[in-house]
Amino acid sequence: MAEANNIKEVARRAGVSLGTVSNVLNRPETVTPAIRQRVLDVIKEVGYVRNDSARHLRAGRSRTVAIVVLDVANPFFTDIVRGAEQVVERAGGMLVVCNSGEDLAREQRHLDALEEQRVRGLLITPVGRSSKRVERLVKRGIPVVLVDRGSGEANRCSVAVDDVMGGRLAADHLAKAGHRRIAFVGGPFTITQVTDRHAGATQALADRDGDIDLQVIETRSLSANAGRGAAESICALPTAKRPTAVFCANDLLALGVLQGLTTGGLRVPQDVALIGYDDIDYAASAAVPLTSVRQPREQLGRTAAQLLLEEADDADRHGHRHVVFEPQLIVRQSTSTVRRKGR
């Protein structure tokens, strides 16, 4: 006997709307006896079990929505917060921001505190691939939406950008400009966004004729400081081994690489072309305007908050969704070089 995992299946089988099933469950007096019985028969037939513990828990829930970001110093997350805030405040709620600092233990501490606070819901860009702690919140009936992270989980929503496509866009752009030695700067590789962007770049270069070398310079964080460190290692390489182009996993890294290369006497883009990821406002206003893979940051935040409030307001009618936006390559001066002859 198939078991319905949400109210949509019950409505489909009973041939009624989601609202009618919700009324049968919550306001039976508003439904005719015949329809009420038909829906109850389907509920019994498919074994649909309403998440009453979640509803009761939500009953006393505050109007506060929490967002846990990876790095509060990264303008990428500032823009996401701005988008989410617009939606939450318009719904009469309040958004509180927590910073995990890309540290799992710190993320866990925030989640413990937020569970005690009985927040209305949680938006999170998790540090690890899948956090058992997040799973526990979901089981406690706290709506969770993953932000900037795709997810296959059936019990929560996610909003992300296709980072594999983003990696492809960046690598294809550099390959078309004639680069044959390219460096990928990013890390840690426990962050899915980093691994997906690297995977996309690897796929794009493998699809092209001719051997293009993609060397990885793994960083301990996605910060400008880590970018400066990566640039030092690039400057230390002999010209014949030095990459002629660098693809960074985000714009903060790229701005750090730009600063480090310049300090090391290398010119961007003449000696080393440079691409970032996010297209934060500072990318366009950098000393050398930065080519970047744009993410629709505020839209990511708005969409995540909308999904969260939809679930928080009526879990029975909500159907979990995984929204994926497409990235866009924004070309600027940091990659505008004449076609190279396979240096």
- Cα of 26 vs its chain's centroid, Å: 35
Beta bridge partners of 81: none
The continuous run of DSSP H or E covering 307 comes out as helix 297-313
- By beta-carbon proximity to ligand RIB, the closer residue of 65 and 70 is 70
Is residue 290 near ligand RIB by the rule CB under 6 A? no
- Binding residue for ligand RIB, selected from 21, 31, 67, 70, defined by CB under 6 A: 70
* Least separation in angstroms between CB 147 and ligand RIB: 8
Site string (184-203) toward ligand RIB, x via CB under 6 A: -------x-x----------
- By beta-carbon proximity to ligand RIB, the closer residue of 193 and 335 is 193
How many whole angstroms separate alpha carbon 230 and alpha carbon 202?
Answer: 19
Neighbours of 131 (CB within 10 A): 18
Strands, E, within 162-221: which ranges? 181-186, 213-218
Q: From residue 89, give the alpha-carbon distance in Å to each of 79, 102, 106, 269.
A: 15, 27, 27, 43
* Least separation in angstroms between CB 184 and ligand RIB: 14
* Least separation in angstroms between CB 71 and ligand RIB: 6
Neighbours of 338 (CB within 10 A): 9
- Greatest extent of the chain over all pairs of C-alpha atoms, in Å: 82
* Least separation in angstroms between CB 294 and ligand RIB: 11
Site for ligand RIB in 120-149 (CB under 6 A): 125, 148
- By beta-carbon proximity to ligand RIB, the closer residue of 66 and 194 is 194
- By beta-carbon proximity to ligand RIB, the closer residue of 278 and 310 is 278
* Least separation in angstroms between CB 235 and ligand RIB: 24
Question: b/e per residue, 48-67, with b = 16+ CB within 10 A?
Answer: bebeeebeeebeebeebbbb
Q: Which stretch binds ligand RIB (CB under 6 A): 1-9, 21-29, 66-74, 109-117?
A: 66-74
Residues forming contacts to ligand RIB in the complex (CB under 6 A) are 70-71, 74, 76, 125, 148, 191, 193, 222, 250, 277-278
